[in-house]
Structure formats: C-alpha cells, structure tokens
Amino acid sequence: MKREVVGYSFMSEELIANQLVSSPFFFANAHSTMLGKGVQAHFKQAIPFAELANQAQAMLEQAKSEQCENPVLFGVVPFNQENPTQFVIPETLYVSSSTRANRALSQAKAEAKVISSPTGNHYKQGVSSLLEMFANAGLSKVVLSRAVEVATDEDIDQAKLLRNLLAINARGYTFAASIDQDNRLMGASPELLIAKKGSQLISNPLAGSRPRSSSAAENQAHEQSLLNTQKDLHEHGLVVEEVERVMSQYCHNLYTPMVPSVIETETMLHLSTKLEGQVDDPNVSAIQVAADLHPTPAVCGFPRQPAYDAIKQLEGFDRGYFTGMVGWCDARGNGEWVVTIRCAEVKTRQMKVFAGAGIVNESHPQSELDETGAKMRTILSAAGIQLNELLNA
C-alpha cells in the first residue's frame, strides 16, 4: 500500500470530483480526510463480531512491505453478524487535512418520489407494540428503525452529495463506501463508537434527541428539555453504562463525566457523553474494542439479545449496514470506528434512507416518528431532496 499526503484542495477538486465513484472508500473526521484508490486486499464475508479483530490484523500483517510497514484497513460492519462484513486495504491511500474549509452547501434541488416506505402509522404501531412488550419481556430500551426508498428523476451526483454532507457535518464523521457493484453507503455520522490514538481510548455515545430548529430560542429550550427530562436521561444512561463497562475492560484512568452535555448537528440535538481512558495493552486494536461495543444500546437496545429479537419481529426489513459501524484501523492498532447512522444506500437514481429512535417506557409513538423524520432530513437535504410532508405521513 502506498500512502500519499495531498492538499485539501486537491482532495476535494480532483480526487472527490473524479475518483469517488471508483474509490473503495472515503472517510473524514473534523480534521483529516482519507480516500482509497484501487484495492490491494478485499474481504467480504459474514463472520462473528468476535473474529473481526483477528481477520483485520491478518490482512494488515500480510499487507506490510518495506515501502509501508503500517498499512491502513477500512471496514464496513453490519448491524447483524449474519450479513457480510467488508474490509479493504487500498493500493493507494490519499490523506489530507480537512476538506471542509470554506465549503458552501450546494442549494440545487432534486426531484424525487417515495417508491417504498411503510407508513408512519405502521411505525407508530411498532412503537405501541414495544411499549406493551416492556411490561413482560425484560426490556429497558429498543431502537426501532424504518427505511424510506426514493427515486430521482436524474442521476445522483455522489461527489456533490458528499461535499454537502461534509458541509453540514463539520464536527462529525463523513463516509462513502462501495458495498457492491452499483450501491454505495454514504452518510454523516455524529457518533464516535471508539477511537484509539496511541495509548488513548475515546468513545462518544449519543442517545436522547430533539429535532433542531432554525430558532436559537427554540433550540435553547430543547437543550434544557433534554437535560431535564427523565425519559431522555434514562435512555442516555443505559448507553453510557454499557460503553463504560466495555471500556473498563481495556483501559485504566477511565474518565466518564457525571452528567451528559448536548451537541448539535444540522438537524438534531443529542445528549452526549465523552469517555476517555488509557489502554492497558498498547497492542490492543481499536477494532477489537469496537467489536465488543457493537451494537451499543444507542442503536440496538438493552439487554442486547432481547432487543435484537424485538427488532427482528417488528421492523420488517433488513438493516444491512445501517446501525453497523464504519471506519479504519492500522497495523499498530490505531483507528476510528463510528456508528453507521444518518446514512443511505445510494444507487444511480435511487436512495434508501434509514433512521431510528430509542424506545423506552416513557416514549410516545408520534414523537418517535417525528424524530426519525428529522434524522432522515440530514442526508435527504444533502441530496437536495425535500420530502418533509411525506416522512411523517
């Protein structure tokens, strides 16, 4: 594998513009950007999450050479381990500083229509069914999702879509990954599952949400509501406790803030807790910790297996890579893995958009439906698609 550092203008104006469609992956955080060209090694197979780290490390060891003793692997991991995990090591890895500098959102509109979607009433019925199950199924939380498929009149410009996701996701993680010959997973996730930088281990789970408004006063009210509503604090606490439990097995000096804060994205406000610690074993890989964390209660529920079972019973579709994890790791164990949310599967003239909401005892079906619609607007607005009146119908 060859690694090349380029300027952010070259990354944006040349590589994203001309190489994205053929690239196996693109990944960006708030400070840096990576794009792979060509494929040196590829793995696509359903394997237990417990085997992810060994598979990744074997590929990285085989990819080492005199020219590159620390290759980088990119991966897309599904929500359910019965679906295939995909790992790729590129022939060339281009890296740059952030491509978000002075990036303006393209305002071009795209005509689209819904071609497949369960109705809002179907989703609300699922929430009601879950609320009935909580009494006797031993469940504390279940994340219930839905998917909307839309068709566009013209080809989707993936480079423009990606640039818009970068523009509206300045503090988050933006990704694009080829998942089959004509299907690309694209999204802008605000949620860091795990990052390892040398000896430092970091996780930033999110749970408890409100739609973001154009009114600063309304957003301030929503922020105070999140910090003062027991339903949201309980939902968030379940996630943080599980992340803390897993991280404590790998690190010392683990710091977990006593109370959450609130972060904003383009479309949502979320309760957020950032956990940080120092790894006990410097050889542990980021993907090993990620595999133990995945899926957290933020995207599945608690307890995990009963929540899995409820999701399978009620959702009625295969999530695929939605609410899985996407990211990278190197041969030294460093890496970043984020939760695959605010995303869509993108084809030439079609998008399948996903969103979910955490259901607990105090949930209200209409509020949870509204939350999924607000989350879908992240990627729909980046594509220039306005379907606001249909998302909650």
CA dihedral 241, 79, 180, 332 (to 10 degrees): 40
Which listed residue (82, 111, 191, 371) is catalytic? 191
Residue 30 neighbours by CB distance under 10 Å: 12
Q: What angle do CA 238, 392, 205 make, to 5 degrees?
A: 20
Return the structure tokens found at 250.
């790998």
Q: Let me know: does 50 contact 193? Beta carbons within 8 Å.
A: no
Q: State residue 254 phi and psi, 5-degree precision.
A: -75, 125
Q: State residue 390 phi and psi, 5-degree precision.
A: -100, -20
Q: Let me know: does 299 contact 375? Beta carbons within 8 Å.
A: no
Q: Let me know: does 195 contact 202? Beta carbons within 8 Å.
A: yes
Residue 81, beta-bridge partner list = none
Measure Cα distances from 289 to 9, 44, 246, 293, 365 in Å.
Answer: 34, 21, 8, 6, 34
Compute and round to an integer the Cα radius of gyration of the chain: 20
**Amino acid, single-letter form, for residue 168:** I
Which listed residue (124, 141, 352, 375) is catalytic? 141
Name the nearest CA neighbour of 358 among 339, 377, 344.
339
141 is catalytic: yes
SS3 82: coil
How remote is the C-alpha of 269 from its chain's centroid?
Answer: 16
**Amino acid, single-letter form, for residue 380:** L
Distance from C-alpha of 160 to C-alpha of 164, rounded to nearest angstrom: 6
- Per the listing, tokens 């002075």 go with 102
Distance from C-alpha of 28 to C-alpha of 31, rounded to nearest angstrom: 8
How remote is the C-alpha of 78 from its chain's centroid?
Answer: 11
SS3 2: strand
Name the nearest CA neighbour of 114 among 161, 148, 155.
148
Catalytic (active-site) positions: 141, 191
